[in-house]
Amino acid sequence: MWEVFVRSRRGLSHTHAGSLHAADARMALRNARDLFTRRSEGVSLWVVPSRAITASSPDEKDPFFEPAADKPYRHPTFYEVPEGVRNL
């Protein structure tokens, strides 16, 4: 099982397009090209083995993301913009 990420135009980020089955990386890349860029939608493809992706659990979202709340310096409201600073 492989996860497919497609970049639609130069300068944009890759986005998850879907999953597919393939025996190896080369076959996964070819299958991804055939499945997800049939109408020239992409300029770049990434294929990643599904087992290589580690994700947080939606059931643990509160305890996992809670520590960020005690760091006010990560929020723009913590800083005061000095006078004379433009285009910030």
Q: Is 28 contained in some domain?
A: yes
The residue-averaged pLDDT of 71-78 equals 68
Q: Is 16 contained in some domain?
A: yes
pLDDT digit string, tens, across residues 25-57: 999 999 999 998 887 778 899 999 999 999 888
Q: Which residue has the higher pLDDT, 69 or 31?
A: 31
Cα–Cα nearest to 35, from 22, 24, 48, 20? 20
Q: Is 14 contained in some domain?
A: yes
Q: Which pTM was predicted? A: 0.66
Does the pLDDT at position 1 exceed 80?
yes
Q: What is the CATH number of the domain that holds 16?
A: 3.10.20.520
- Predicted confidence band of residue 17 (pLDDT cuts 50, 70, 90): very high
Q: Which residue has the higher pLDDT, 47 or 74?
A: 47
Q: Is 8 contained in some domain?
A: yes
Structure tokens at 4: 């497919």
CA R_g for the chain: 20
Q: Is 10 contained in some domain?
A: yes
How many domains, in total, are found in the chain?
1
